[in-house]
Structure 1
Amino acid sequence: MSATDSKSLRDPSRRKERRNRKKNTSRRNNPQAQMALKEHLREMRNRLIKSAIAAVIGAVAGFMVYNPFMQYITEPLQRLADSGRTATINYSSVGGSFNIMVEVALVLGVIFASPVWLYQLWAFITPALHKHERRYAMGFLAAAIPLFIGGCVLAITALPAAVYALTAFTPEGGANFVEANQYLRFFLQLILTFGVSCVIPVFLVGLNMLGLLSGRTILKSWRVVVVIVLVISAMAAPGPDPVTMLYLAIPLLVLFFVAVGLCLVLDRRRAKKAAKREAATGVTADSATSAEDLRKMG
């Protein structure tokens, strides 16, 4: 260290100036989010690290509930075996069961840690928002967390019925040797798909509030959305019984149309405010012109 640097460290005024400079560049004390690219990257890295730590802790909890979870999702196969049919989970390698355990624990960790990483996402975005927009963002966070978890739980409760329906096509005397990787991947992907699908309406409302997407634009695509939801629900609950498919589809469709309704209400409010501003601007302009005319007449 040079003599100049050593002197600056001993100087209280220089240390105070350095602390103030660091404080002014932090996101918390910078509501306009006027930060250098390096500061943005550092902030993003810190948020990602916190999210990763939460996911690791959630994965540890996933390891703890692995056995009850596996018992639940393999119960349909066990019922088939109890009825006299051959149905069992097949691990293709010596370490296959361990790999499955790790994969399940990681996915459960992401689900368990969803309040943390959703908050970190919100905390990274919110400094760029105005004060009233931050309140809305907190409302989005409060809605997104239970919706994501609720979507995952919805898929978990419906998946056993899907297994029953799929294995019902096995001919008499046939056997179901189910590959563990494919079986669990089907479960986990569908769980995450329904979790994310339940959060999408929240993001649609957010895009509408930012002025990027109007309610009428979203409403125009309702037929496409209905078809997509029904296809996903049919894939999750195949078979002749439509009850399980509707059990999955109806909550998603209700969330979508509620989001559309909110977007239309917000559009109407913005239109009224814009009309009031235009009217106020016109009155002010007329008043100014009248005053000017009076001065000329005088």
Structure 2
Amino acid sequence: MTLVEHIYELRRRLAVALLAVAIGTALGFFWYTAYPFGLPSLGQILTEPYCALPPENRVQLGGGQECRLVAFGVFEQFTLRLKVAATAGVLMSSPIWFAQLWGFITPGLYAKEKRFAYTFVSLAVVLFTAGAVLAYFVVTQALQFLFTVGGDIQTTVLRGSDYFSLLIALLIIFGVSFELPLLVVMLNRVGIVSYAQLSSWRRGLIFGLFVFAALATPGQDPISMLALGVSLVLLLELSIQVARVHDKREARRRLEQGWDGLDPDQPSPLDDRLGSSTPAPAPAPRIEPLPPPSPATDRGSDGSADRWDAT
């Protein structure tokens, strides 16, 4: 495939991916307030952590019977709905645009690399989803702390844009952070880090993960910091144990291959003697001195008595 054909292929796949995202955004915009097939609306799903707070910890609107967020701008509700719909559209259309990306990359991969990539992508999706689900349940506890830290002195009137920004940021940060064990395992697989190195770095890595959790969580509340830090430490320990099993298997494999002192990927030096089609090289000729000449032998014009011959 020529360079121009590659560009045309990229343009076609990019157009399909953008069209899928646009359709997903339109569906998300409609789902924001609709209840398709008896399912809860997208807005209800996203505001459930906020509405799960006790009524005394949030501002009551509509006679105290409804749970609503507030907006202070004319276009704020429309902008917020469009932002949430676009995020939902990217997530809902992810199988399509990822398939386009995969279809553009795979022609340049070997069969072994394709199988490896399938495993990598599958685990990445599972870990990201697990992190996002954990963040969804942590939001309620985080808001409970943030809304009650002021006691009875003050209360919080939460804007919809602030709430959804906090929620989306937590979902993304938790989801991306949960890819840590996959990164560690991949580095171990390619031989960049070993189990011995990871084991010796364990204390420093744990400290660094808690520092990262404290800086990365947007709410700066101890609930989300602790949840993210403890989760990352557990995932790090899991990846270290996976590296330990992998290194043991590699050591056993090398030991089994090294019983005869030969590398199985290289031809044996005995092959030339045991029927190899390539003949063995002839031995190099040896230089040996001739016996001393008899007295009747002509010494030559230079009078030299030593003569050498190559046999």
- Per the TM alignment, residue 158 of structure 1 is displaced from its structure 2 partner at its CA by 1.5
**Structure 2 match to 1:32:** none
Q: For residues 198 and 125 of structure 1, do their structure 2 counterparts lie closer, same or farther at Cα, with a shift above 3 Å needed?
A: farther
Indicate the SS of the match to 2:73.
Answer: coil
Secondary structure of the structure 2 residue equivalent to 1:89? coil
Match of 1:124 in 2: 104
CA distance in 2, matches of 1:80, 1:282: 68
> Are the equivalent residues in 2 in contact too, given 1:80–1:86 (CA < 8 A)?
no
2:20–2:93: 8 Å Cα contact kept in structure 1?
yes
Residue in 1 aligned with 2:22? Answer: 56
- Deviation sequence 1:133-171 (CA, Å, 0-9, x none): 211211222222232223222211221111111011224
What runs of 5+ residues in structure 2 fail to find an aligned partner?
34-40, 61-67, 285-311
- Decide whether aligned partners of structure 1 residues 159 and 107 sit closer, same or farther in structure 2, where only a CA change above 3 A counts: same
Change (3 A) 1:123 1:141: farther
Q: Do structure 1's residue 280 and structure 2's residue 247 form an aligned pair?
A: no
Structure index of larger Rg: 2
The alpha-carbon distance between structure 1 residues 42 and 61, as it changes in their structure 2 partners (threshold 3 A), is same
User: 1:108 and 2:74 equivalent?
Assistant: no
TM-score (norm 1): 0.68
Check whether the contact 1:166–1:238 (CA below 8 A) recurs between aligned residues: yes
Q: Which amino acid aligns with 1:127?
A: P
- AA aligned to 2:9 is E
| Cα distance in 1 for residues equivalent to 2:130 and 2:214 | 20
Give the Cα–Cα distance (whole angstroms) in 1 for the partners of residues 5 and 116 of structure 2.
Answer: 25
Are 2:128 and 1:155 aligned? no
Matched, 1:38 2:4: yes
Equivalent residue number for residue 292 of structure 2: none
Query: Which of the pair is proportionally richer in helix?
Result: 1
Structure 1 position 54, deviation (Å): 2.7
Equivalent pair of 2:132/2:175 in contact (CA under 8 Å): yes
Distance 2:192 2:75 in 1: 49
Report the equivalent of 2:288.
none
Which amino acid is the alignment partner of residue 70 of structure 2? N
Contact in 2 for aligned 1:86/1:174 (Cα 8 Å): no
Equivalent runs, 1:81-100 vs 2, <5 Å: 82-83=55-56, 86=59, 89-100=69-80
State the TM-score, normalizing by the size of structure 2.
0.65
Name the aligned partner's letter for residue 59 of structure 2.
Answer: T
Are the aligned partners of 1:229 and 1:252 in contact in 2 as well (CA < 8 Å)?
no
User: Per-residue displacement from partner, 1:60-90 (whole Å, max 9, x unpaired)?
Assistant: 3322442434334445655668327636633
Q: Write the distance in 2 (CA, Å) between the matches of 1:167 and 1:128.
A: 53
1:99–1:178 CA distance, 2 compared to 1 (3 A): same
Deviation at 1:172, TM superposition (A): 1.8
Q: Check conservation: 1:47, 1:121, Cα contact below 8 A.
A: yes
* Displacement after TM superposition at 1:248 (Å): 4.4
**Identity in percent:** 26
Residue correspondences, number = 260
Instruction: Determine the structure 2 residue equivalent to 1:256.
Output: 236
Equivalent runs, 1:8-27 vs 2, <5 Å: 25=1
Q: Secondary structure at the match of 1:280?
A: coil
After superposition, give the CA deviation of every residue in 1:203-254 in whole Å (9 maximum; x if it has no partner).
4444554x37334466636335532454268655825xx6x65554444433
Give the conservation status (yes or no) of the 8 Å contact 1:73–1:160.
no
Q: Could you say what the CA RMSD is over the residues aligned between the two structures, in angstroms? A: 3.9
